[in-house]
Structure 1
């Protein structure tokens, strides 16, 4: 068997697969986010370990873990986990959706070396500007830093005792030479750091270490369990869905939204605000358009309405042409294509006829138009997509998927029931590392059905998207 552990923002999930890559067990433990100030988002790394213990306790109660040969890791990207020389955590981890370092990010992005070497804009959510914020605001913490780990790599430290990162996650730090797949001495020096602060790098399908004997005996593992490099959450999910070859794509309607395209060469276009990262497999890269609030926007509106997201969408009926109301889903800033940490969400075009159902449709459509913006940004880099595999909690809504298909023009393939997320992809990477196999095992899932754009509504959605872009320009101008 092979175990995948996916350290998300809201929970840690473990998935067990057998030699045939069938899921034979799973467990989840919840996590909470602390927001002590506006724009801040933090977690205690100790909570990750408690969640991992809970997941392993549950799996060990159901399965004989002595058959596990490999473990893979997936996790939320960009988080700054700061350790002293004794591997003590110096402060809460600053998470991917924390925007406090927007000033530092803008200053670093003005240095052309960052885009030239990393291939990306320095976004406020990336790791490097967080360290610059710590250096400026918490110098007593900065001076004690011995190692900087990404969230899943702190979990690896607990599992193996090794300080190791892998390429897909490291590419989201603004310290990686993404073409060379190595830390950049120039970019590290620009933030007062050097290689001694960085973990060792491996590919996602390579062995990063071995499970510590103490943990092996505690949960009944064998003493020869390898831990794979793993992948950042989206790259690991791509491995789980078989999105590993040029032209493959997926669209994730999760807490955040991602339009992900696999590439077999490095082709950055930082100005587009498209992320160009290493993939979790050797000699491959990927591009992503990222929106910060997808299902999170619907959950926010449901909370405002004192109800649940399923209750909001239950009575919407068939998908209609967009109405007068527009929603801009910039609840915590936006990445692609705007790179704007300060912009905030807004309803536009409200009138007497707009009721709760119309506002709910506007929220669903607003997220769909944000995906259309990502589609356009990817196309500007030369990556033109016609279809994508739909995943994430929001993909369980046929109504929302139809809206997204209409807004983007993409055919959305819906997999048969199954788990193809980060934990499953991480388990596949654990299999690769343990058995010495490669991308050939990363097969795509069987497709249950395809949601095609409704040609009778496409023109109406294109017109609404044009109004959305105009409203976005106006709102961002006001926010500036």
Structure 2
């Protein structure tokens, strides 16, 4: 029996699987985000522990006496600051917090960051957050003894160990991603020290064992191992079996991700593609990331006064992109723009624009943003030979067909089930506890393959060109 815990922004999810990877039980606990100032996004780490206690208590009702391993997945980039007694010094600054955009630009201007980390220093990354704290909260910065990523604070509670793993650490801007180790030069350049960093392991390795008190409390046997785990997208990659070059998935969640596995390290920071370690030894992955996918549709649903399901249910067969265009930059954008200030827009509104036309424009805008990610990945030499779709947005056949047509690539839909971060974390727990390798991370059974609509390929090419023109115009206004 193996448990995966996925610490997301809006909630913590636990999935329990057996040795054949059959899901036995699952549980969730909600979380909220605090936004005390514009551009700020924070959570209290104590709330993560409270959520974990609720999830473990619920799963304990199914019996955890045969549990052998726990794997962790979680939101990336968050800065959890601890003092020498492991007390939390301030609320965690989350991945979608943009307050440190000035500090990020300062770090990115130092060429060693792109050279060693393989990435642009984005405002959401961890290193600029610490620079912001040093500048604006010096009394707190002076007391920082350890910096942990969100899921690794859960690990500290579970095991008493300060440990991170490669895929999550790659998003801090402190990791030499090619060497898979903390970089003394990058730490020094952002006023940090190696002793403030946690120990590093691979995602499928043992990071520690469950504390005796917690094992007894939740009915677990002694000696349950805790795997390194993975950042949310790397763990999702393990969950859907995207572990080899040529394999990719598109995630239509709150944010949007085009994730491709790589056998080697091939960064190209200028594209704004994320090049990170994968959760398995000797592998890497690349991601194009957009900050609003279903988040954009949810925003429009509030404006339209109808649920996303209601908005998309009556769209019918795929249509050519219309005159109305939507730019999904509700809170800035990462790939390929790296622009925290850009904001979204509807362009080309006319009397004929009704709710259905506006809904299609929103779906097309996110689709074209994902195409931008595909083009950025291609610029690094990454090829996508197979593409899976996951996340809430993948339930819309219209949306998936738009993506297939815009990318010119069939989109495969897994059978019903959750193959996301929690399932991937459970797989990593199985690997750590048994010594199994990548063969555990097979791809799920496919329920449907959505083919591109070849008759609309040229129309989607033209629609993307109009989208890029609108993008350029909006950038000139922000």
Name the TM tier (shorter chain).
over 0.9
2:74 is aligned with 1:75: yes
Q: What CA distance in whole angstroms lies between the structure 2 residues aligned with 1:33 and 1:300?
A: 17
Aligned to 1:53: 53
In 1: Cα distance, 2:161 partner to 2:21 partner: 27
Task: Give the structure 1 partner of residue 13 of structure 2.
Answer: 13
Structure 1, unaligned stretches of length 5 or more? Answer: none
Q: Secondary structure at the match of 2:226?
A: strand
Q: How far apart are the structure 1 equivalents of 2:71 and 2:260?
A: 22
Query: SS of the residue aligned with 1:67?
Result: coil
Q: Whole-Å Cα distance in 2 between the matches of residues 33 and 451 of structure 1? A: 36
Query: 1: CA distance between counterparts of 2:306 and 2:448?
Result: 30
| In 2, Cα distance between equivalents of 1:307 and 1:80 | 36
Instruction: After TM superposition, give the deviation of residue 306 of structure 1 in Å.
Output: 2.6
Unaligned runs of 5+ in 2: none
Structure 2 Cα separation of the partners of residues 295 and 179 of structure 1 = 33
State the SS of the aligned residue for 2:76. coil
Cα deviation, residue 386, structure 1: 4.0
Tell me the equivalent position of 1:455: 454
Alpha-carbon distance in structure 2 between the residues aligned to 1:249 and 1:150 = 25
Q: What is the RMSD of the two structures over their aligned residues, measured on CA atoms?
A: 0.8
Alignment partners' CA distance in 2, 1:37 and 1:465: 35
Q: Is the 8 A contact 2:247 2:385 kept in 1?
A: no
Residues 428-437 or 303-312, more deviating: 303-312
Q: Distance in 1 between matches of 2:468 and 2:194?
A: 43
**Shift of residue 384, structure 1, vs aligned partner:** 2.3
Provide the C-alpha distance between the structure 1 equivalents of 2:378 and 2:288, rounded to a whole number of angstroms: 11
Paired position in structure 2 for 1:166: 165
TM-score by length of structure 2 reads: 0.99
For 2:82 and 2:154, the matched residues in 1 are separated by 13
Q: What does residue 33 of structure 1 align with?
A: 33
Q: Deviations over 1:148-187 (max 9, x none)?
A: 0000000000000000000000000000000110000011
- Report SS of the residue matched to 2:286: strand
Residue 400 of structure 1 corresponds to 399
Partner of residue 361, structure 1: 360
CA contact (8 A) 1:74 1:423 kept: yes
Q: Is the partner of 2:65 in helix, strand or coil?
A: helix
The correspondence of residues 175-254 of structure 1 with structure 2, limited to 5 A, is 175-254=174-253
Aligned to 1:332: 331
State the 1:387 CA deviation: 3.0
SS at match of 2:34: coil
Contact 2:70 2:429 in 1 (8 A): yes
Post-superposition Cα deviations, 1:12-34, rounded to whole Å, max 9, x if no partner, equal 00000001011111011111111
Q: Offset at 1:310?
A: 1.0
- The separation in 1 between residues aligned to 2:298 and 2:128, in whole angstroms, is 29
Alignment map for 1:441-452 (pairs within 5 Å): 441-452=440-451
Q: Find the aligned partners of 1:139 and 1:49 in 2 and give their Cα distance.
A: 27
Give SS of 1:478's match: coil
Q: Distance in 2 between matches of 1:104 and 1:165?
A: 24
| Contact 2:11/2:29 (8 A) holds in 1 | yes
Match of 2:254 in 1: 255
Counterpart CA distance in 1 for 2:230 and 2:224 is 18
Q: How many residues align?
A: 478
- Whether contact under 8 Å (1:386, 1:411) holds in the other structure is no
SS of alignment partner, residue 122 of structure 2: coil
Shift of 1:305: 2.0
Q: TM-score w.r.t. structure 1 length?
A: 0.99
Which SS does the other structure have where 1:312 is aligned?
Answer: helix
The whole-number CA distance in structure 2 between the counterparts of 1:131 and 1:20 is 43
